[in-house]
Amino acid sequence: MCRPNIILFLALGVSLLFSACDKGRHKGGIKPRYVRATHVTSVDYIDRDFAGMATADDAVNLAFKISGQVLSVDVAKGDYVRKGELLSRLDPRDVELQVAADLSQYERARAQEERMKRLLSHEAVSQQEYESAYAAFVQARSTYENSQSLLADTRLRAPFAGVVERTYVDTYQRVQSGQTIVRLVNPMSTTVEFTMPEKSLSLLADTTTRYYVRFDNFPDEIFSARLDTYAKTASDASGFPVALKISKADSERYGISPGMTCQVTLRVSDSAKHDLAIPLSAVYAPAEGGTYVWVITSANTVERRRVELGDIFGRDMVSIRQGVSAGEQVVTAGVYRLQEGQQVKILNM
C-alpha cells in the first residue's frame, strides 16, 4: 500500500542528487581545479650546480730516508700533532756506530791537516803535501756530517701541524727507505673539488663566471670561492676535475675540514636566447611527445602552449627559448591532470 510513496521518494532523491551535481559542475562541463602557478621570469644570470667535497690542502705520506727497524710509532690514527713533533723512530744503533767511526776519522784528518799547515809555514813540507792532507780532511768532514744527518733521519717528524690519518707500520717492523710510515693531513681545508661535464668547461674560461659553495653542514651560509685549477683532460667518463679555493678566514671560522660535502654553484651571465625561466615542475611532456606548459589566461582557464626548453640550472629551473613571454602565468603543480580550456583557481597567487 505504501509502495507508490516509496517510489516517489526515491525518484525525488535521485532528482535532487543530479541537480546538486549539475550545480557543482562548471557550465562548460569541467569542474574547476585548484592549481599552483608562477610567473615566467626574466633572469640576469643562470646558476649551475655541482656536487663537491672539501679536500686537504696539505696531505703527505711520510717515510724514513734510510732502512732500519722501527723502534716506536709515537702517534695513532686521529692524533693532532704540531709541526716538528716526533712521529716515529728507527733503532739508531747501527747509525750511531757509523757516526762514531766517521767522527774518529774526521778528527784524525783534522789533526793531520793542522799539523801539515804548521809544517808548511816552516817550509818543512811541500804545498802539494799540504793540499793532499787538506783534501782528506774535507772528505772526512763531509762523511761525518752526512752520517750525522743519517742519525737525525732515524727520527720522523711532522713537517706541518695536522692530523694523523693513518699509520702503516708497527713497532719492531723492519722497513725500507721510502716505505710509508704515517699519512699526515692538514685538518683545515680551503680547497673544494668537483667534476664538470665537457659541455660546461667553457664556463671556466668565462671571466664573468662567479663561484659559490654551500656546505651541507652549514646550509644557510654561502661561501664565495675562486677558481684554483682544472684539468683539460679526463681519465674517465665521470667528468673533468676542478678545484676551487675559499678564503682561509672562512675555513677557520666554520671549521671546514677535508671530507665535508657541499654544493658548488657556478653563476654565469645569461645570454639573450636564455632570458626566460620557469620551474621544471611546470613542464608538461605528454606521451605523444613534445614539451608544453599550461598558460593561465585572463579568464582563469588554461591554454596548452608548446615551448622550446633551454638549459636546466639552479635546483629546479629551466630556461625557455620560445613559447612564452615574461609575466605570463604558468601552472607549476598538477600539469598532467589538466585539460585544454579547463577553468582553474590559483591557490598561491
Which pLDDT does position 14 carry in this prediction? 44
Q: Above 70 in pLDDT, residue 18?
A: no
Share of the chain above pLDDT 90, in %: 65
Secondary structure of 291-313 in the HEC alphabet? CEEEEECCCCEEEEEECEEEEEE
Q: Above 60 in pLDDT, residue 207?
A: yes
- pLDDT tens, position by position, 301-312: 999 999 998 877
- pLDDT tens, position by position, 271-285: 544 568 899 999 999
Q: Above 90 in pLDDT, residue 62?
A: yes
Residue 222 lies in a domain: yes
Read off the amino acid at residue 156: L
Indicate the number of domains in the chain: 4
- pLDDT tens, position by position, 333-347: 989 989 999 999 988
Which pLDDT does position 228 carry in this prediction? 94
Q: Above 60 in pLDDT, residue 107?
A: yes
Which pLDDT does position 272 carry in this prediction? 47
Residue 313 lies in a domain: yes
Sheet holding 329-331, edge to edge: 37-39, 329-331, 292-296, 302-306
CATH of residue 108's domain is 1.10.287.470
Cα–Cα distance between 38 and 349 in angstroms, integer? 8
Domain boundary among 153, 173, 202: 153
Mean predicted confidence (pLDDT) in 84-113? 95
Could you tell me if 79 and 163 lie in one domain?
yes
Domain region containing 239:
48-57+188-269
Read off the amino acid at residue 215: F
- What are 7's three cell numbers? 517510489
Could you tell me if 168 and 76 lie in one domain?
yes
Residue 13 lies in a domain: no
Residue 28 lies in a domain: no
- Rounded to the nearest integer, the mean pLDDT of the chain is 86
Could you tell me if 334 and 229 lie in one domain?
no
DSSP 8-state code for residue 260? -
End-to-end CA distance of the chain: 60
Residue 2 lies in a domain: no
